[in-house]
Structure 1
């Protein structure tokens, strides 16, 4: 059967799912790639590039569009706005596509979606952008790196302008993603060979013998090696939780907010079949994700349950050799993978998140046995959620000491922006 899918219509529909209906970008895009997995690799790559690129640079793109229209950007019809945003992205950042083709396809889209009367408007805006793109300049860091102004101002209290520029550039750059595998199950050389047979480029990561960078992937779900659970997609920064935890043979580990299961799987594999990882999360949906990933990874020294970490579980008080509190956070360290976060997050929301984190930490500390470890982590770059929470915790828990902490800066350190703090609970005198 001939392929009749119009890639730009798919892109427009995906953008509207995210911007108009509020669907998370990574979920919306994954659903689209699942639906159109029969498309050629080049076509799927084009869809992914335009959707992700437009979302990553939306503040910049809206600024550029506003230079060429006589009304406020938010007064545009959602369909027209999405057509212009994706069109401007292609003109500015996809050299392989002629500007004239971008304009023509955008006009066709407007017509197909019932906006025949706005074809001239769409055409005029895009052709003006194409003609004057070399003259466009940006007024500040927020526009240049497509970051909300309030986030830039918040970072300016803690980081230099150069550090903010490095982070901003990192979030916008194309980059490979990392995977982790269990050397007890498959050797690195074997996995590299399997991936090569599946036409996937891989690259070793210095200092990480159980991890690889992957490139040239358009649809992960079709890879047999992934379906068989021979590797797990996990960012380098997230792997540090297991490396810091260093579980010993027979340890009882508790992962309080475990979905989708990456840290639990890592702990389980480090235990080499011994001990137990008690993994839980707040909803059946999240726990099902954990179970699915455990099944693929052939893990059996894990028990999973639905449990709200804000509640106290008296059955595990003083029982955990290692307690992992990788808590809900603002996600400002993963804007390269989830760019829509920056458009939904608010300053008020940050305050609520800090309160939630402290509420969970109050319970987490009770689960640590004397001499045991508590590892607090977030995937954000925000001192209120990170260093200030660590200071608060130490001030209110004299029986814990801070072993080490690290704020990983995206673009400076490998991987996502990520924060880790490792605490140890004092042993009782009789111990």
Structure 2
């Protein structure tokens, strides 16, 4: 019989790993769910919802706590701050959890973690918030930046940057889209399974699916317990990938026999998609920086049973003369600030800074300066990021064309959550003269 575990303690430890110790939310949550896979689906869903929800709404939650606590959030001890945050999320956004249970469990947890002297503080703040939830004060709507920042839990610098480019209405759509619950999107492995067989396999496991209206191999999945537990996953019938990310292979339009290099490929989605589109011909070299990342690509290649693709350990910032003018298609999906995927990685809201985003834009230029050499005359270069930031996207595209005039820009697109399907994503396509 499994040892009794305290689900709220698991939530606390997971949030501390992310907010105090710097672990990425998707990694911390995956590790926790794998470790406690024996828990009931309902309990695992509760852990996921509270961890993700607390991170997604953190700016709004802190704004609320600061209205009722004499000790401001940034002055509180990490354990107490985290207990308060996850409790306020439950009070405000989880109607089926009784307020009294939220407050009682938070007080117990503070005591269990060695803060017996702060149990009264935790109790007082939470009871006060619970009584006044309908009378919370928010920033004045005339202050657009502060108002959007708190309403959608977006850092002020992001809101300011986006409003200057897209306007208030579009930023509001993006903010809403980041907070919406979305089904997981997958790409069917067309090389090994037909549409009919794939759908039949999903139905056997009780999975509810919805076909994508444009991409015939893309599906949204809901009503499953554990994705890796599905037979369709174990057989390599699908790959988890966002709709916007699938566009890279669509734009690349590989021809049979093409030689493809993906310079920052992990975990391998785009490279594998291209290998499938080559129908067993050509060759895809999926490169990445570390042995760990290469192992991730290899694992995904193996599950799909493809033999026209290979994972290679290679630093994209280091010149590889042996690759000069070898690639018909070069994929440069480069490290970025990730501002387009805040719905999936909400911790980036607090981790990313203006300075870090600027550093990443410089790194992208450094990599493009090296890897453009690998494209054949007449070949294509696809530059993509999962961010919404002109410096990393449109500005870098303009810089690239100016500095490497042998490349002509064919097209570019910034996809925005709430306006386009899928994540915030940018793609630019160049052809070498």
TM-score by length of 2: 0.96
Alignment check: 8 A CA contact 2:189 2:239 kept: no
Could you say which residue in structure 2 is the equivalent of 1:162? 169
Could you say which residue in structure 1 is the equivalent of 2:244? 237
| 1:352 counterpart = 2:359 | yes
Could you say which residue in structure 2 is the equivalent of 1:329? 336
Residues 174-196 of structure 1, C-alpha deviations (whole Å, 9 max, x = no match) = 11120001223112232222222
Residues 253-301 of structure 1, C-alpha deviations (whole Å, 9 max, x = no match) = 0000000000011000000110000110111111111111111111111
Alignment check: 8 A CA contact 2:298 2:310 kept: no
Residue 18 of structure 1 aligns to a residue in which SS?
A: helix
Point out the more displaced range, 109-118 or 230-239. 109-118
TM-score by length of 1: 0.97
Could you say which residue in structure 1 is the equivalent of 2:108? 108
Could you say which residue in structure 1 is the equivalent of 2:188? 181
C-alpha displacement at 1:105, in angstroms? 1.1
Residue 158 of structure 1 aligns to a residue in which SS?
A: helix
Could you say which residue in structure 2 is the equivalent of 1:253? 260
Give 5+ residue unaligned stretches, structure 2.
140-146
Point out the more displaced range, 332-341 or 68-77. 68-77
Divergent runs of 4+, >6 A: none
| 1:50 counterpart = 2:57 | no
Could you say which residue in structure 2 is the equivalent of 1:96? 96
C-alpha displacement at 1:369, in angstroms? 0.5
Residue 340 of structure 2 aligns to a residue in which SS?
A: coil
Alignment check: 8 A CA contact 2:189 2:236 kept: no
C-alpha displacement at 1:338, in angstroms? 0.6
C-alpha displacement at 1:251, in angstroms? 0.2
CA distance in 2, matches of 1:413, 1:326: 19
CA distance in 2, matches of 1:99, 1:196: 38
C-alpha displacement at 1:61, in angstroms? 0.6
CA distance in 2, matches of 1:424, 1:90: 51
Residues 332-356 of structure 1, C-alpha deviations (whole Å, 9 max, x = no match) = 0000111111211111111111110
C-alpha displacement at 1:146, in angstroms? 0.7
Count how many residue pairs are aligned between Structure 1 and Structure 2: 426
Residue 424 of structure 1 aligns to a residue in which SS?
A: strand
CA distance in 2, matches of 1:212, 1:135: 42
Could you say which residue in structure 2 is the equivalent of 1:429? none
Give 5+ residue unaligned stretches, structure 1.
427-431
Could you say which residue in structure 1 is the equivalent of 2:77? 77
Task: Report the aligned-residue RMSD.
Answer: 1.1
CA distance in 1, matches of 2:166, 2:205: 42
Alignment check: 8 A CA contact 1:33 1:219 kept: no
CA distance in 1, matches of 2:155, 2:265: 30
C-alpha displacement at 1:218, in angstroms? 4.3
Point out the more displaced range, 345-354 or 221-230. 221-230
| 1:384 counterpart = 2:405 | no
Could you say which residue in structure 2 is the equivalent of 1:6? 6
Alignment check: 8 A CA contact 1:260 1:293 kept: yes
C-alpha displacement at 1:2, in angstroms? 4.6
